[in-house]
A and B are shown apart, each in its own frame.
Chain A
Amino acid sequence: MLLISAIASGLALGSMYGLIALGYHVTYVVSNTVNFAQGSSVMLGAVLGYTFAVRLGWPVPVAAAMALALCAGFGLVIERILVRPFAERDSNAWLMATVAGGIVLDNVVLFTFGKEPRGFPSLLAQKPIQIFGAGIFPLQLVIPAVGLSIALALHVALRRTRQGKALLAVVQNRDAARLMGINVRRAIAFSFALSTALAGLAGILIAPLFSVHSDMGTLFGIKAFAVAILGGITSASGVILAGLIYGLTEALVTAFFGSVYTQIVVFTVVILALAALPNGLFGRAAVSKV
């Protein structure tokens, strides 16, 4: 029972980390930059979802769609004012700028949304179902299902659709892509919108299991970045797998050794894994051509 419930917890949290980490992956491969406001985007998704669904009483699918659209819009804003001006000048200041952007958003939400954590009720997180003697909320099964389907859909879309191919072209060779008439700026902006929307989705999914408040995303953002690095940030499937591995390790260590050891063991594992495989578990070494 201990094992089953730990696996269920680990998979649900792990696929959430995977979704957020997928956002780091998408912007990194397309533009070599990362949005460090991912944690805040998780929070934004949950806060907007809560506002539309609970405060305004919209049907959940509409509320979720609207929240995701706004999250994508937030990604566009981040890219336009916090990343592009620096990245195009070959400056690394986007790093600090996106961190700062996240802090600004957290505080704006603190003032507008309020200081008290709020509950986001969901029918999927009320009555646990029994699986091999362990109680599990249906939502805990929905999260990995959604996470894996999104990863799969992304994989297919990149290879089958026109936009996806354009994105891959930018990944392979930015200048050649530009010469082929691909709008590189638009491709990069799209990758940021996609990345924050993925984070927002993770936020909406986790909200009923957690509570909605302005600093709920910070820790998720940090853990997901560890996951992205662990998975080898260049590989989409690697990032998702690393998310699952990270989530499972976290839950199993807590279950069998106790919570005092969780962070120590998990981050030691991350460091060891990176020492053995510097490009992450599934990443490829970046070839720098001279």
Chain B
Amino acid sequence: MPREAQSVLSYHRVVLAGMTALAVSAALPVSAQETVKLGLVAAMSGQSAKSGEAIVRGLSLAIDEVNAKGGVLGKKLELLVRDDESNPAKGVVAARELVQREKVAAFFGGLDTPVSLAIVPFTNQSKVPFMGVWAAGTAITQNGAADNYVFRVSAVDDLVDVALVDYAAKKYAAKKPGMILINNPWGESNEKGLKAALEAKKIGYAGIEKFETNDVDVVPQLTRLKQAGTDVLFLVANVAPSSQVVKSLDRMGWNVPIVSHWGPAGGRFTELAGPSAAKVQFIQTFSFSGNPNPKAAQIFAALKNKYPEIKSLADVTPAVGIANAYDAAHLVALAIAKAGSTDGTKIRDAFYAIDKYDGLIKTYSKPFTVKNHDALTAEDYIFTYFKGDEILPLTN
């Protein structure tokens, strides 16, 4: 390269760098003064991208509402979204960036239990509250830290298992339930939970079978459970493997009640599993359909207004991501307002001081205590089923 051209190039570079530096220094103090930043670390790409989208919608709606009423501490709330690609290492990097560089007052988590578990030690160390809105792993909030900054508005695996057992016992008088569980840490944690819940109710079980995400045929496992006298089937798996279980049951012609964790809600279950998809009764924390709370209709209208691509209830499945995120964002805003500051420890303590919040999922009273960092309890779960593309609550 001729020398002149080179010097011209480097001159441009210097100017550019200078301008960038100016812009950054100009932008930083202004935004720091004007907004209270909240972060989100969730899967925005990959297989679970839909869950991240739902969380963003729920958070944004709540933040809009808070901002319309003047925000908190006299400032507007601002949401910063980071993609963890369902990868724990990337989740931790994103959390670090949000806390250390962006100085968020608090941040939210996504669908993947392993990602949230990886973030927990960091959040407790840096003393910035982390609010889970989807991942159900019990150890996320019950993490054993003396100084716990992790809260959650979502289902908790241990409580889900209790609810599954209660439901099977009440509705089907289950005496010998069988378990068909995905062969990964999520299946493992629910195996423990289900066993404990069954023992507490003095109910035995017919058997425990595992299967892989890419298993085509689950007939052998199910046949074993059938021969052992299974009267109710507990299912824990994501949407695609769950549909393999349903198809295998169809082939066997075995009409057993299926009581499931919320995996089937995560995708096109009816398309994958065929007409028998409707037989699967699965747990949710929230459903817009058949919801008597007037707030549900009001929020669904607001969603349609803000996101024109939402046309029917089938476009907001599963609604749990939206509803959990919506209530969680309001609870965080309340805590920051109560704390009177964006200091992490003060916000954490303010969570305990929240007395009542009339939310979308329920009316929360004293949702958090020093001992309990989970705002939802087993009584808040509902059982639902797929009718076509829509998730409907079961009324019984």
Contacts and interface: CB of A to CB of B under 8 A. Distances in A.
Contacts of B50: 115-116
B217 A9 contact: yes
Contacts of A219: 212, 214
Contacts of B274: 119, 121, 126
Contacts of A213: 240
Contacts of B212: 219
A118 B240 CA distance: 9
B251 A137 contact: yes
Q: What's the dominant secondary structure at chain B's contact region?
A: helix
Interface residues of A, number: 35
Given A6-B220, A137-B251, A259-B221, A216 B214 contact: yes
Interface in A210-255: 210-211, 213, 215-216, 218-219, 251, 254-255
Q: B interface, how many residues as a size bin?
A: 20 to 34
Interface string A185-197: 0000000000000
Contacts of B250: 128, 135
B267 A116 contact: yes
A16 B299 CA distance: 49
A5 B216 contact: no
Contacts of A255: 220, 223-224
Contacts of A260: 210
Contact of A5 (B47, B219, B268): B219
Interface string B242-284: 0110010011110000000000000110011110000000000
B253 A117 contact: no
Given A5-B252, A119-B268, A254 B221 contact: yes
Interface in B202-239: 209-212, 214, 216-217, 219-221, 223-224, 227, 239
A158 to B, nearest CB: 30
Nearest to B267: A116
B220 A5 contact: yes
Q: What's the dominant secondary structure at chain A's contact region?
A: mixed
A1 B212 CA distance: 23
Interface string A108-134: 000000011111010001101000001
A152 to B, nearest CB: 24
A125 B211 CA distance: 21
Contacts of A117: 239-240, 267-268, 272
Nearest to B181: A259
A117 B217 CA distance: 17
A211 B241 CA distance: 9
Contacts of B253: 128, 135
Contact of B243 (A211, A218, A259): A211
Contacts, number: 87
Contacts of B219: 5-6, 9
A281 interface: no
Nearest to B247: A209
A258 interface: yes
Contact of A9 (B220, B227, B267, B272): B220
B2 interface: no
B49 interface: yes
Contacts of B247: 125, 209
Given A128-B250, A259-B209, A119 B243 contact: yes
Contact of B271 (A119, A254, A259): A119
B243 A254 contact: no
A248 to B, nearest CB: 11
B134 to A, nearest CB: 17
A209 B271 contact: no
A151 interface: no
Contacts of B244: 210-211
Contact of B223 (A1, A116, A118, A216): A1
B152 to A, nearest CB: 26
Contact of B47 (A12, A115, A136, A209): A115
A180 interface: no
Interface string A67-104: 00000000000000000000000000000000000000
28 contacts: A1-B223, A2-B224, A2-B227, A9-B217, A9-B219, A115-B50, A116-B47, A116-B268, A117-B239, A117-B267, A117-B268, A118-B271, A118-B272, A121-B274, A126-B274, A128-B253, A137-B251, A209-B216, A209-B247, A210-B216, A215-B214, A216-B214, A251-B220, A255-B220, A258-B209, A259-B183, A259-B210, A259-B220
Interface of A: 1-2, 5-6, 9, 12-13, 115-119, 121, 125-126, 128, 134-137, 206, 209-211, 213, 215-216, 218-219, 251, 254-255, 258-260
Given A116-B267, A134-B252, A259-B211, 19 more contacts: A5-B220, A6-B219, A9-B217, A9-B219, A115-B47, A116-B50, A118-B272, A119-B273, A119-B274, A128-B250, A209-B216, A209-B247, A211-B240, A219-B214, A255-B220, A258-B209, A258-B221, A258-B224, A259-B209
Interchain residue pairs A-B with the least CB separation, the first 9: A254-B220, A255-B220, A119-B271, A117-B240, A119-B272, A9-B217, A135-B251, A219-B214, A128-B251
